[in-house]
Amino acid sequence: EDQVTQSPEALRLQEGESSSLNCSYTVSGLRGLFWYRQDPGKGPEFLFTLYSAGEEKEKERLKATLTKKESFLHITAPKPEDSATYLCAVCPIGGSTLGRLYFGRGTQLTVWP
Amino acid sequence: NAGVTQTPKFRILKIGQSMTLQCAQDMNHNYMYWYRQDPGMGLKLIYYSVGAGITDKGEVPNGYNVSRSTTEDFPLRLELAAPSQTSVYFCASTGQGGEQYFGPGTRLTVT
C-alpha cells in the first residue's frame, strides 16, 4: 500500500505556464515531508523540507506548501531548465527504521519553449 | 566536500556473478541508506545503517548484503546476481534536518 501518491505522473508545460504538482500521503504522524528534483541519469537532489501544516518554503520559481494530507509544489513561470522528475518523500513518526523516507513515484515535468 | 560518492557508475554482470557497490560520504553522517530505483517505481530501501557496526534490512533486502566498518563507507554486496537485480542503485546519507543526500547512482545490468 503506497503511503505517498504523486500526481500527475507526467506534466507538460509551455515556458511561463504556471502549475502545481501534488503529493498526498497517508502516514498517521508526519516527522517531515521532503521534495527532491531528479535529472535523468543523476541522483535525487534535495529541494525542501516541510515539517508542519501551513508551512511554506520557496526557492527561485518553486514554492512548496503543506497541509495535513498533502503537499503542493507550485512552479511559477517555469523555464525549460526546470524540466526534471520531482519526487516527494515522507518521514513518518515512529516506524522501524529511524529516518526512513517513503518515496512517491514522482512527477515527470517537461517545460517546452 | 564531495558529498556522497558511488562507484562504479555502470556495470554489466553475468547471472551468478558477484560484485560490491561502493559508497562513501564525507559529511560525518551516521545514517546511511541503499535504495534501488526501477523505471516508474519509487525508490525502494534495501538496507540501512545508523552507525559503524550497525546495519538492518529495509524493504527489499533479499540477494544483498551490507557492512559498515567506518562512518564514511557503506558498501553493498550482491551475491549470485540475478536479472531481477537489474536496476539503478543509490546510496544516501541523512543530514541534521532529516533530509537525505544522494550519490550519483550505479546503473547495473544483469544478463
Please say whether the beta carbons of B92 and B84 come within 8 A.
no
Return the CATH number at A71: 2.60.40.10
Please say whether the beta carbons of A23 and A33 come within 8 A.
yes
| Whether residue A73 has pLDDT greater than 60 | yes
CB within 8 A of B96, min separation 6: which ones?
A: none
The alpha carbon of residue A79 is apart from the nearest alpha carbon of chain B, in Å, by 24
Condensed to tens digits (0 to 9), the pLDDT of residues B51-70 reads 999 999 999 999 999 999 99
Domains of chain B, by residue range, sit at 4-101
Rounded Cα distance between A57 and A76, Å, is 14
List phi, psi (to 5°) of A83.
-65, 125
Chain B residue with the nearest C-alpha to that of A91: B98
The alpha carbon of residue A49 is apart from the nearest alpha carbon of chain B, in Å, by 7
Task: Give B-chain residues touching A100 at CB under 8 angstroms.
Answer: 33, 45, 48, 58
Q: Name the CATH superfamily for B4-101.
A: Immunoglobulins (2.60.40.10)
The residue segments making up the domain with residue A14 are: 4-112
Condensed to tens digits (0 to 9), the pLDDT of residues A20-46 reads 999 999 987 888 999 999 999 999 999
- Is the dihedral angle over the CA atoms A75, B3, B88, A31 positive or is it negative? negative
Domain tally for chain A?
1
B94/A34 Cβ within 8 A: no
DSSP state letter for B3: -
